[in-house]
Structure 1
Amino acid sequence: MADLDPADQIKELSATLESVESVLDLDAKRTEIEQLREQSADPELWSDQDNAQKVTRRLSYLESEVTKVEGIRRRLDDLGVLFELAAAEDDADTLTEAQDELTALRKDIGDLEVRTLLSGPYDEREALVSINAQAGGVDAADWAQMLQRMYLRWAERHGYPTEIYETSYAEEAGIKSTTFAVRAPFAYGTLRGEHGTHRLVRISPFDNQSRRQTSFAGVDVVPVVEQSDHIDIDESELRIDVYRSSGPGGQGVNTTDSAVRITHLPTGIVVSCQNERSQLQNRATAMSVLQAKLLERKRQEERAEIDELRGEGASSWGTQMRNYVLHPYQNVKDVRTNVETGNTGAVLDGEIDEFIDAEIRWMRNQERAAE
């Protein structure tokens, strides 16, 4: 495309943006924004805190999405004028500015186009992310904590609120496990490709002989359940333990046994919550996490049955999916999409959008092939 005339490139980008605008249905979003603004202005809304927060989060998200698309459309309209100005005045600086803006717009429109691929039944939901240290001892626990930071920094970069439900700290360093929510529409559809095993290769900071160590951590991403979801949970199939919340080094967070751990005996799924002061609140939150995990399990079982009826092998994304190598060279590579970068520091600081966008495209292609 780089050898095309700028006017032709702008025309192609405009056609792509029109397609994106059509799929996103901006008029419907503007109508919903007006309805949500009316709801948020009603003082009675805040009598139900959970619903009020849901309304305000949805309103903020829609306003951001519409503003983003409208801004890109204005920039694209202005770009043609900028190229004309550069040509009329034979101004090299203005031409460079216009070419840089063209490159930036191509990326921004491409990012919007990826969003239109999120059409799964739960893609619009918020996400629950669980990380567990796997093989690798103390290095694996440290790696799990590094991954937690990576995702929290990614959410922070995008302005997505997060809520940590539970963190189980390892004895020497790092964490055994953690569960947190990403409170943004389409967080599940965006992050579900991160599900799987993440492998780290580095010189271990915990080895006094400075040997290279390979460690693994598992990432699980499920959609947050809503009231319309129905998952039957038999109380007799639950083991509920209460314990005292704690932080790194065993430092007390609470002075009462308010943390709750729930084990679903038939499946072996274990969930915990310790972020609330009340045992009752922690239990309710833990139950919602359990429902989310059971809902995802049910969805996977249904998909496996369909694959079996089709005579296809069940495809799983829950395998090794990304390698992070810090020694003897610097490289992060996704084993499915082959996207890679040598800027490992940026990736571990939350700059993972390139990987996520490629995952979304890859998963959509896999789903189309199966249809």
Structure 2
Amino acid sequence: MKEYWKRNLVLVVLGQFIIRVAQTFVFPYLPLFIAELGVDNTKQIALWAGTIASANFLGQSIFSPLWGSVADRYGKKMMLIRSVIAVGFFTILISFVTAPVQLLALRFLLGCFSGYNAAAITFIASETPEKELGYGLGWLQTGQQAGLLIGPAIGGVLTHFWGFRVSCLSAGLITLAICIPLFYTRETPTAAIGKDVKKKIRESFPRIRVWGKLGSFCTLLFFVIMITQFANKSIEPQLATYVSKIYRGSSLELMVAGVFMATAISHVVLAPLLGRYGDRNNHYRVLFWCLIGAGFTTLGQVLVKNIWQLILLRFVLGGFLAGILPSANALIGTNTPHQHRGTLFGLLASVNALGNFAGPICGGAIISLWDIDRGFFAVFAITGILFLAASFFVSRLTHAPEIRGIGSAH
């Protein structure tokens, strides 16, 4: 591990970066793509955008525990490659859709068979020395957000000149290319790898029982992560619609890209720094104050009057978001037996996906039921309060639990 963990980290972060670049060619412009598919009512576009964004995460929430358990048996490197192939294949298919319902179905299937982020977290958590875990996970978050920084800009140009379908096709092909560097990662051999395939699959399901042995610590922390993802994802699929409401210029796609990029810039800079600070000091402190900051910054977006105020607040929000998931993942990883990290991070990915699933569909439903002004006001207010509520739950986590004994039971 000492010899290879840095190379693994570089290659997996590179994969995270490239896949995020490719996937954000289109996602920030989802409401505009839906309009091109024939939906012309703003409220219906908001509802479709939320539902389609949620479909991906619904699939992840159903299948992530299985993939996490299989990772413990098959090997975590194989799960990385599997997820990349799935994302690339289904993204290419999306370029051929002709109706919103087809896009909905493909996004759901993509969620069922993809999950690169969860696979990457599991791999890094298992192959990185524990004293460097927050640092490694922070860099993983940086790779993701760096992709978010560049992807919307490239996607905005592709979409502006060649349309959404070319963007989707390009994203799928670029994603498949990620398999090449990932083949050069090296996984620490375990005794579990090499058993009969059917037996591995059968044995994956009982291992989910690890959840019941975690105690209140991980249960509460999982709940905090779900709240955080719900709050964050409630507004993301609707940002293009919100930008079109406050910006009346001729460069809408570029302004949408600017809003996403503002969040990513601060995220890229601060994620590894906050991860290292948590390793050296206290992950609880980072998680608590970042949740507080995210709550108040989200509430502040209710008051924006122009695009530049929104960009500024999204920039500040990105800095606070940079410390939330890496800190939470590091807290869970450092208190989990090594042999069960695939299972536990699979469960974590499922919880994460549930928040990601519920957030977009609820945000879209609120906006579609009310008028646009009141709908966005309500979504920003609710999500800001949820961030603050999550900080309260973190304040209850006063010390790490003793759960390393889980491994001895198996």
Q: Which has the larger radius of gyration?
A: 1
Common topology (TM > 0.5)? no
TM-score under structure 2 length normalisation: 0.23
Relative to total residues, which structure has the larger helix share, 1 or 2? 2
TM-score under structure 1 length normalisation: 0.25
Answer 1 or 2: higher relative contact order, Cα 8 Å, separation at least 6: 2
